[in-house]
Amino acid sequence: MLQLSNVSKQFFDPGRGPVQAVDDVSFAAEHGVVAIVGANGAGKSTLLRLICTLLQADSGSISIAGHDAVDEAELVREKIGLLSPGTKLYPRISGRELLEYAGSFYNIEKNELSQRIEQLTDQLGMAEIIDQRCEGLSTGQSQRINIARCMIANPPILILDEPTTGLDIEAASELINMVQLMNDGERLILMSTHIISEIEELADRVIVLSNGKVVEDCPRHHLGEGMQLKHRIRGLINPAIAAEPTPQSSSSITEQSAENKHAD
Amino acid sequence: MQIKHIQSVFKKDALELMRDRRTWFVNIVLPVLLYPVLALVGIQVFQITQPGPEDLPQIGIINAPAEFKELLEFGGEQEDREVEDNKGRKTIIKPSPVLRIKELTPSEASAFQRYLDSEEKSNEESLLALQKIDCSSAIVCHQDADMLNNWRLELVANNAHPDYLLALRYIRQAAVDYQKILLKQRLADSGLSADFTKPAALITNNLASTSESVTTHFLAAFLPVILVLMVIVGTFHPAPDLIAGERERGTLETLLSWPSDRQSIFIGKLLVVIVATIVTVLLNLGSLSITAGIISNQLPSGGNNRMMALSELVNIGPRAIVFSIIALFPITLLIATLSLAVAGLAKSYKEAQNYLSPMVILFTMPSMIVLLPHIKPNMLLDLIPLIGPLVALKACLQGADMAVMHLFISTAASFGIAAMVVSWATTLLNKEQFLFPNIKNISLKQFKQMRQHSPLHGGLEAKLMFAAVLGTFLISSAIFANVNTVVMVSAPLIVGIAIPCLLFVKIGGYDPRQALYFNKPNPMNWAYTILLIPLLILVSGTLGNLQAPYMPENLPEEEMMRNLFNDLTSLGGIPLLVVCVAVVPGICEELLCRGVLLSGFNKSLGPRYAILMSAFLFAAMHMSPYRFVPQFVLGIFLAVVVLRTRSIWPAMVLHFAHNGLLVLGATYVESDPDLQRKLQEAAGGDTVSSTLIYGSIIAFVICASMAAAICHLLKPPPIEAGSEANPA
């Protein structure tokens, strides 16, 4: 389904100068939930944007369902649903209008699209909000519409870039349930995060990035559970603090709340 | 491009725009209410500011005859006017006073008498006297006691008084009319007719109606400018909202992650801007016409002259409406496309509006050209964006011949230019910096750091270099203008163009093999280059023939070139002529256009745009509208040759041979009047024959196709290790 071979990406960041955001990354994935884990600036978002063709790799190749991400970008985008932290809804249209708009870019018949919208409305509990203008929705409600927007064409790959950013506990929990719902065994869900509980609950496989490089790629259960999982991952991200147990308990690898973090 | 996606983007963006209160205000409410409100305010202000009898300027008179006094009061000869209102009722309007007249008593007049009689004038006393009687001026009238009994009307005025200019206007008119009355009397006394003093008189018989006259002289000039302003108002809200606004609201990333090509997205948004703009303009025009119509109905026809002109002006006929709507499309298309593309560069709605503000001047200033009284459409103007459709619209409103054809040609040209802008905007939407502007927002230090890593400059540096070289070329032309002809022709090219290009590559530390294509060409390429020489000469020649019908006779630049060639030939014969007009330009212009510009644009924009951009700048730098098209086409071929061979040398030889053979041919024909006559006869005499035009089109197509086929055969040299890291 997804194949990355020696993908690298460098850019100039005003604050940091030349940045090697992604450095010779290679991996393949077929289905299940793959968590891309790393500290802020590790290259998670850049990697996901490369996969969904919003950025182009300096070197290496990305192939999705046999299509090249550069030469066949439109075909690749047909296979992907993207949810990134910067994603907002169109304020002046309703959820239904947004879903119809999103669906119009895929080869979906009008009747099929209407059925799909009804199905997603039921699945994601959006009956009360689907006809409201998006500008009046809460963050949690907006995220539900966003998930529905990603799922409108039933894409085989779902890319969730830090999906719980900015959500309260209840909304984050709802979103995790929705991701579980979408993980039907055939779909590949790539999810960047640094929240341990999300990794524990959702991930089948973990890819750890540090300074743009893959430092670990293994099934999630190889990294243990709970505190052990957290310390293993922290150690991979920053070897200097490897295996050093900390008395404080935090759900975040980088000790930052999901609300105030910045995207890579 | 996918129609379905264009429809989706159009439908969604139009819906969002309609639900935005700003759209309703800027594009609907403002145009509808603006003119009635302005008219209402204007009428109120006009009525409030109408002067009452006590507000009229007051002047003092001393010893004025009764007739002159009456003329002063009414500002010249005035007759009763019959006025008909819109219900057909007729009323007689008596002339109303324009000045208040104060007959001065001897004591009040004494200061002015003293002023006029004394040798040493005392301004202060007269000024005080004027102040005292509350007048801006005083007229002291004397009748000479000689045989003619002429009147002297001496004006003593406080020319710093606010009423002075208005009073002076009426006083002058009264004096002129009084002079006419006296002259008439004098002629009658002498038994002569009143026409005795008019041995020749101009009698004007106007055949067209006032409405037609107003359309030609007023409406035709101003309506195009008004249309441009209305279009700008129409684009001002949607253009920044649809791309920059979407980026600001955080929805652009989602849109670009959907499976649609960027062109469809841009065109969908462009259509929204165009429709919103056209609706705004039509509402503007409708509101303006209705308001003006209501005002004109309120005005009595045949009354005051200025009012009559206004009521005639608003009589916009169906012809003006149809042409305005046709012209609206190219104007809107061009302004909307450019505004949307430029606004799309901004990160927010506000920033986009800042980008658009200077564009208001950019669009408005050139449109003022239609106000020139003698401007008429021609093939060259048709191709100029914005100006072409506006001049054609003016000609259409004036009912000029072929104006409709020019309107359609300029519309087609605007579509072509808009297509180029759409193409550029699509390229922009494809760039990752467009979506994530911060990732390349680099400092000057980082820019230098990047440049050091690169053996080749980019498009930005190429553009800056072109501007700099243009400056050095013009300065050196001015410096060497008064030296002999050889230096005057060659030195600016060498000092102003070639040396700056070589210094640019040297100081910039760029690789001359990449920046200037200093590579040894494949030996076979020389054979193809020789084959290209006659074909390119024929391409230029046939384009010259096709341009001939549109070229004015006795072009000053042709005369200048002829003199230049004669000077050079007399100084050093044909060899010197060839060196100065073929070899030196061939080397210097190639270093700039096919060296620095082509390589820089090729790196930044890719080969297709690099070829077009370098050819455009090559044609533009010759600063001659009549040589533009042939130079542009030559520039395209030379750029293709350089990119195919990766070497500048064949292009230099081609350029040199092209210029040299054309100049030699022209000199040979010039020297033989018999041959000149025969050639002119063969071409169809003084008028350009249709055979020559069709022949030239066929010859152009054949030669250009053959040249393109030969270009296709050109092969780059085998790449040696390290010879070219970034091949074209």
Residues in chain A: 264
Amino acid of residue A204: D
Tokens representing residue A74 in the block = 């439109």
| B416, pLDDT greater than 50 | yes
SS (H, E, C) B283-317: HHHHHHHHHHHHHHHHCCECCCHHHHHHHHHCCCC
Contact between chains at B19 and A93 (C-beta distance less than 8 A): yes
Rounded to the nearest 10 degrees, the angle between the axes of helix B690-713 and helix B523-547 is 160
Q: Full-prediction pTM beyond 0.80?
A: no
Residues in chain B: 728
CA dihedral B273, B276, B278, B283 (to 10 degrees): -160
| Out of A77, A86, A102, closest to residue B250 by CB | A86
Mean pLDDT of chain B: 82
CA distance B654 to B638: 8
| Residue B266: φ, ψ to 5° | -65, -45
Please name which of B648, B660, B514, B506 lies closest in space to residue B590, comparing C-alpha atoms: B648
CA distance B77 to B535: 77
Residue A249's pLDDT band, with cuts at 50, 70 and 90, is very low
pLDDT digits (tens, 9 = 90+) for B314-347: 556 677 778 888 888 889 999 999 999 888 888 8
The domains located in chain A, with CATH, are 1-42+51-79+158-168+190-264 (3.40.50.300)
| B442, pLDDT greater than 70 | no
Residue B589's pLDDT band, with cuts at 50, 70 and 90, is very high
The pLDDT assigned to A232 comes to 77
- The mean per-residue pLDDT over the stretch A242-258 comes to 47
| A255, pLDDT greater than 80 | no
Contact between chains at A87 and B442 (C-beta distance less than 8 A): no
Q: Which residues pair with B153 in a beta bridge?
A: B141
Count the alpha carbons within 13 Å of B362 in the hemisphere toward its beta carbon: 11
The pLDDT assigned to B303 comes to 44
| B193, pLDDT greater than 50 | yes
| B392, pLDDT greater than 80 | yes
Amino acid of residue B381: L
DSSP string, A172-198: HHHHHHHHHHH--SSSEEEEEE-BHHH
Chain A residues 29-68 within an 8 A CB cutoff of chain B:
52-56
Which residue is it, tokens 């209305």? B230
CA distance B387 to B329: 13
| B24, pLDDT greater than 80 | yes
A70 in contact with B, Cβ within 8 Å:
no
Tokens representing residue B105 in the block = 């008593």
| Out of A74, A86, A97, closest to residue B253 by CB | A86
CA dihedral B87, B88, B91, B97 (to 10 degrees): 70
Please name which of B97, B72, B73 lies closest in space to residue B153, comparing C-alpha atoms: B72
Residue B683's pLDDT band, with cuts at 50, 70 and 90, is low
Contact between chains at B19 and A77 (C-beta distance less than 8 A): no
| Out of B8, B250, B440, closest to residue A88 by CB | B250
Residue B565's pLDDT band, with cuts at 50, 70 and 90, is confident
- The CB density around residue B670, as the number of other CB atoms within 10 Å, is 14
Mutate to test the interface with B, among A9, A87, A92, A139 (most CBs of B within 10 A): A92
* Class of residue B690 by CB neighbours under 10 A (exposed 0-12, middle 13-18, buried 19+): exposed
Q: Which residues of A touch B249 (CB under 8 A)?
A: 88, 90-91
| B53-84+91-196: CATH number | 3.40.190
B47-51, B476-480, B679-683: least confident range: B679-683
The pLDDT assigned to B727 comes to 38
CA distance A134 to A130: 9
CA distance B10 to B265: 9
pLDDT digits (tens, 9 = 90+) for B67-114: 999 999 988 777 777 666 555 667 777 788 889 999 999 888 888 888
- The CB density around residue B527, as the number of other CB atoms within 10 Å, is 11
C-alpha separations of B457 from B166, B596, B609, B619, B645 in Å = 66, 8, 16, 22, 20
A263 in contact with B, Cβ within 8 Å:
no
Beta-carbon pairs below 8 A across chains A and B: 86
Sign, CA dihedral B617-B618-B620-B622, equals: positive
Please name which of A40, A27, A37 lies closest in space to residue A261, comparing C-alpha atoms: A40
Domain ranges in chain B?
Answer: 3-43+209-368, 53-84+91-196, 442-713
- Interface pTM, i.e. ipTM: 0.83
pLDDT digits (tens, 9 = 90+) for A76-106: 888 888 888 767 888 889 989 999 999 988 8
Whether the CB-CB separation of B605 and B523 falls below 8 Å is answered with no
- The mean per-residue pLDDT over the stretch B444-451 comes to 53
Q: Which residues of B touch A77 (CB under 8 A)?
A: 257-260
Q: How far is B353 from chain A (nearest CA, A)?
A: 21
Give the residue with greater pLDDT, B306 vs B164: B164
Count the alpha carbons within 13 Å of B441 in the hemisphere toward its beta carbon: 12
Contact between chains at A92 and B19 (C-beta distance less than 8 A): yes
| B721, pLDDT greater than 60 | no
CA dihedral A179, A182, A187, A191 (to 10 degrees): -10
CA distance B580 to B479: 18
| Out of B19, B254, B438, closest to residue A14 by CB | B438
Contact between chains at A92 and B249 (C-beta distance less than 8 A): no
- DSSP three-state, residue B341: helix
Give the residue with greater pLDDT, A200 vs B432: A200
Mutate to test the interface with B, among A22, A51, A88 (most CBs of B within 10 A): A88
The pLDDT assigned to B76 comes to 79
Strand A205-210 and strand A213-219: pairing? antiparallel
Whether the CB-CB separation of B706 and B535 falls below 8 Å is answered with yes
Which range scores top for mean pLDDT: A6-10, A250-254, B293-297?
A6-10
A78 in contact with B, Cβ within 8 Å:
yes
